[in-house]
């Protein structure tokens, strides 16, 4: 057996992996800097950790388990899992990014409510503008928040909002689209934390954006496919929305000429919400637990269910 590792690790973290693997040979590759030798090592590996190129999986005859270094599985969805799934088990990082993503969402909401985004732009211009801004600053206290999703990130964000006395509703599979539509006219903050599936694509369309009250804020840290971006741009430019916090977009990286770059009161956090100075350590913790399970024949955690899309 051999182990292929494609993570950005320190020397100490690599030693940690070698210690875990024991006598099992380990190959370390740099993410997104693949060489022919990396591809050869992957083809020999029975276990791999990291987000390898999807096309490699088709030729990886020895691979039995792939531990992704992400929660999202979008780039692998198009593969034939009816065939690949017979020999390869894929696990992801569900639950690992709950704190950082929830904190980014909260930080963005507070930035828009308290005018931090506008104050930062004024600071770049060395412009003092206290009097015009003060009357428009808002309080998050008691706000009505609808979170699209009911997973670990959604539940953690609800916990972070609790001290503000927010009225939080989690939209899950148990609710109907009609129930969501009934909530939107009273929603101050709408947060998207859903996976990218056929059911969630375009859920936040022009009609639902129009149901939100004037000045509502839209946050998306799930998948860019959730929202009709043309409709979102229109709502922001017309200032029907009070702003947006977007960690994800339909196309990433966002093209330089995309209108979202210049929309008013729009914070683009560039898919960094899951990041932290503890990220690599957290990934290794998940992998280590599953490695011990794999090598002892116990069930793995966070197995991807391809039929459900996450």
DSSP 213-254: PTTEEEEE-S-GGGB-HHHHHHHHHTT-EEEEEES--SSSSP
Q: What is the CA radius of gyration of the chain?
A: 22
Nearest to 28 by CA among 57, 53, 48, 55: 48
Cα–Cα distances in angstroms (integers) from residue 266 to residues 57, 114, 137, in the given order: 38, 14, 16
223 given a catalytic annotation: yes
Q: How far apart are the C-alpha atoms of 94 and 97, rounded to whole Å?
A: 7
* 80 C-beta neighbours (distance < 10 Å), count: 10
Query: What is the Cα 12 distance to its own chain's centre?
Result: 27
Examine residue 253 and say whether the peptide bond preceding it is cis (omega within 30 degrees of 0): yes
Active-site option among 125, 223, 237, 240: 223
Active-site option among 237, 265, 271, 293: 271
Instruction: Tell me the three state secondary structure of residue 118.
Output: helix
Nearest to 249 by CA among 275, 223, 267: 223
Length in residues, the chain: 310
Catalytic residues: 223, 271
């Amino acid at each position: 057996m051999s182990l292929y590792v494609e993570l950005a690790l320190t020397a100490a973290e690599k030693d940690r992996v070698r210690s875990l693997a024991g006598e099992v040979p380990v190959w370390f590759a740099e993410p997104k800097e693949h060489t022919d030798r990396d591809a050869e090592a992957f083809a020999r590996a029975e276990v791999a950790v990291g987000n390898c190129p999807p096309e490699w999986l088709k030729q990886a005859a020895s691979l039995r388990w792939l531990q992704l270094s992400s929660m999202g599985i979008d780039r692998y969805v198009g593969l034939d899992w009816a065939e690949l799934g017979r020999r390869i088990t894929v696990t992801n990082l569900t639950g690992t990014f709950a704190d950082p993503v929830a904190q980014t969402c909260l930080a963005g909401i507070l930035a828009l409510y308290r005018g931090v985004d506008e104050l930062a732009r004024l600071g770049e211009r060395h412009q003092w503008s206290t009097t015009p801004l003060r009357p428009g600053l808002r309080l998050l206290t008691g706000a009505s928040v609808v979170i699209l999703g009911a997973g670990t990130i959604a539940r953690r964000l609800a916990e972070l909002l609790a001290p503000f006395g927010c009225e939080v509703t989690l939209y899950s599979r148990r609710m109907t689209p009609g129930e969501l539509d009934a909530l939107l006219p009273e929603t101050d903050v709408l947060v998207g934390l859903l996976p990218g599936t056929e059911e969630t694509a375009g859920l936040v369309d022009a009609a639902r954006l129009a149901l939100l009250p004037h000045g509502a804020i839209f946050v998306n840290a799930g998948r860019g496919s959730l929202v009709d971006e043309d409709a979102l741009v229109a709502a922001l430019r017309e200032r029907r929305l009070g702003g947006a916090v977007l960690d994800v977009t339909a196309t990433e990286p966002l093209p330089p000429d995309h209108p979202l770059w210049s929309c008013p009161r729009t914070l683009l956090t560039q898919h960094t919400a899951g990041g932290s100075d503890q990220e690599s350590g957290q990934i290794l913790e998940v992998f280590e637990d599953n490695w011990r399970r794999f090598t002892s024949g116990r069930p793995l955690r966070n197995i991807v269910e391809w039929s459900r899309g996450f």
